[in-house]
Amino acid sequence: MAEDNKAGAGISAKYDLDAKWDACLDLGVRRFVYSSFAGAFAGLLLFRSPVTRWASVAFGAGVGIGSAYSDCSHKFDESQPKLTPNIRKVGEE
């Protein structure tokens, strides 16, 4: 019944917070897991000490959570990330 009411209200994708939260939670969990696995694999290949191996796993998890946070904040703000700085061409003023 609640789904019928929501569908009948005609909420646009811009204002549908449930879909945004679902997408961000999915993105965050996926990037956390994949980055942790990448950190564990790199730690097994590069380091001998268990402490440095766990540190590489933690670093990978942090990178995954940070990138998911960045993408989700852009999704909620509806603004596109700035990929290049505003550089003037020579001769323009």
**What's residue 17's pLDDT?**
75
Helix, strand, coil share of the chain (percent; to 5):
70, 0, 30
Q: Where are the domains of the chain?
A: 16-77
Does 2 have pLDDT greater than 60? no
Does 1 have pLDDT greater than 50? no
**What's residue 86's pLDDT?**
66
Look at the pTM and tell me if it is higher than 0.85.
Answer: no
Gap between the Cα atoms of 70 and 92, Å rounded: 33
**What's residue 75's pLDDT?**
81
Q: What tokens were used for 85?
A: 């700085």
30-81 pLDDT, tens digit per residue, is 999 999 999 999 999 999 999 999 999 999 999 999 999 998 888 877 755 5
Gap between the Cα atoms of 85 and 92, Å rounded: 16
Does 3 have pLDDT greater than 60? no
3-state secondary structure of 67: helix
12-31 pLDDT, tens digit per residue, is 666 677 888 888 999 999 99
